Amino acid sequence: MSNQYIDTRQGHWLLSKMGKKVLRPGGKELTLKLLEGMEISGKDDVVEFAPGIGFTAFKVLAKNPRSYTGIELNKEAAAGLKREIKGLNRQIIVANAAATPLPSSSVDKVYGEAMLTMHVDKRKSEIIREAARILRPGGYYGIHELGLTPDDISEENKDLVQRDLSTCIKVNARPLTKSEWSQLLQNEGFEIINIYTNSMLLLETRRIIDDEGFFRTLKISYNILRDTSARKRINEMKCVFKKYKNLMNAVAIIARKK
Ligand SMILES: C[S@@+](CC[C@H](N)C(=O)[O-])C[C@H]1O[C@@H](n2cnc3c(N)ncnc32)[C@H](O)[C@@H]1O
């Protein structure tokens, strides 16, 4: 991999190239809590915003929903998913979650992980509004995103975290506090059903082992070790996550369309 490639690639794609499959801030643990709370069953038409490499998609498909639609902006990721997700009432659409081609009030459950954080607040709201549009009344929207803590974090600390995250993971990461995430959902007509939090330990060894399993962790470590440029970038990311470990967490929220 060339240095330029490593230096400009968004953090999640770099980690994914190293073999990391779980890329959401609260890890597998928070994903499983979110899915349990969403109560996905065989009666549900389900939409996932930004399935990425499909980690959660496969967990949801194992519940055999009536239909599954993944809305993924990245053509490369979508092509990989299309190869693996086939069958009746299963589809992957290359589209922006802020403007899907799906009809209004047509689905029961919508969820998305580690995708709102990378958008400015106006775009976050557009995506949330789209979830509200496609959901049937009473339907659930689940999110799993990067959080800021405590709820009354100073503006100064907030700016510091956002600035350093953007520089190191090469996306305009804009995490929010638990109350701010809730407010954005409420602004689009959602009622908050449940909020879960977890620590943000994406690059800590114990979380990697928990998320990826022992042997995949070895493989990821080997890939990082033999690639100097990737190692440098990943160490920088780890440093920022460590520096702000008391100001960042992972937030998952389940909201109901009224
Ligand atoms: C950090 S990855 C997370 C992927 C997956 N949800 C996960 O947790 O492993 C971010 C993904 O969001 C996708 N994405 C970002 N904004 C999007 C949007 N507006 N519509 C659809 N996909 C989007 C990107 O293409 C990328 O695959």
The token duo for 14 is 């770099």
Whether 74 lines ligand 1, by a CB cut-off of 6 Å, is yes
Q: Which residues contact 185 (CB under 8 A, 6 or more apart)?
A: 128, 141, 143, 192, 253, 255
The string of pLDDT tens digits covering residues 114-129 is 999 999 999 999 999 9
User: For ligand 1, is residue 35 a contact (CB within 6 Å)?
Assistant: no
Whose alpha carbon is nearest atom 4 of ligand 1? Answer: 52
Ligand 1 contact via 15 beta carbon (within 6 Å): no
Of ligand 1's atoms, which has the minimum distance to the CA of residue 171? 1
- The rounded percent of the chain whose pLDDT value lies above 70 is 97
Residues 244, 166, 198, 182: is their CA dihedral positive or negative? positive
Q: Residue 178's closest CA among 143, 131, 126? A: 143
pLDDT in tens, 202-217: 888 889 999 999 999 9
Give the Å distance between the CA of 257 and the centre of ligand 1: 22
Find tokens 């330029």 and name the residue.
4
Q: Alpha-carbon dihedral of residues 157, 159, 162, 166, nearest 10 degrees?
A: -130
Tokens 């022992």 correspond to what residue? 214
Extents of the domains making up the chain: 3-257
Token pair 């059903």 in the structure block, residue: 193
Encode pLDDT of 73-84 as tens digits: 999 999 999 999
| pLDDT at residue 7, rounded to an integer | 58
Atom of ligand 1 at shortest distance to CA of 119?
16
Best residue among 73, 122, 127 to mutate for probing ligand 1, ranked by most atoms within 8 Å of CB: 73
The CATH class given to the 3-257 domain equals alpha beta
